[in-house]
Amino acid sequence: MVAPHRFTCAFAPGRRVRPLAARLAALLTVAALVSSATGAAAHGIAGNRLFPGTLSFDDPAVADELALTPSSVNRHAADGTDVTDRGVSWQFTRLLVPNLALVVDSGFTHRDWPQFQRNGFDTTTVALKGFLYENDPHEVLMSAALSWGIGGSGAPAIGAVEPSTFEPAFYFGKGFGDLPDRLAWLRPFAVTGALGLEIPAASHSTTLSLNNAGSALVPLPIANVPIAHWGFSIQYSTYYLTPRFTGGPPREEPLNQFVPLVEFAFDSPRGEPTLAHMSPGIAYVATTWQLAVEAVLPLNAASGHGVGVRTQLLLFLDDLAPSLFGKPLFGR
- DSSP lists the bridge partners of residue 227 as 198, 269
- Domains of the chain from N-terminus onward: 14-320 (2.40.160.40)
Question: What phi, psi does 270 have (nearest 5°)?
Answer: -60, 125
Contacts of 248 (CB under 8 A, 6+ apart): none
Burial class (CB in 10 A: 0-12, 13-18, 19+), 182: exposed
When the pLDDT of each residue in the chain is averaged and rounded to a whole number, the result is 84
Report which of 249, 260, 266, 332 is spatially closest to residue 302, judged by C-alpha positions: 266
Residue 5, pLDDT > 60, answer no
Local confidence band at 138 (pLDDT 50, 70, 90 cut-offs)? very high
Q: What is the pLDDT of residue 117?
A: 85
The 10s digit of each residue's pLDDT in 147-170 is 999 998 988 777 777 789 999 999
Residue 251, pLDDT > 70, answer no
The 10s digit of each residue's pLDDT in 170-185 is 999 999 999 999 999 9
Residue 49, pLDDT > 60, answer yes
Task: State mean pLDDT over 210-229.
Answer: 77
Q: What is the pLDDT of residue 211?
A: 67
The 10s digit of each residue's pLDDT in 287-317 is 899 999 999 999 998 888 889 999 999 999 9
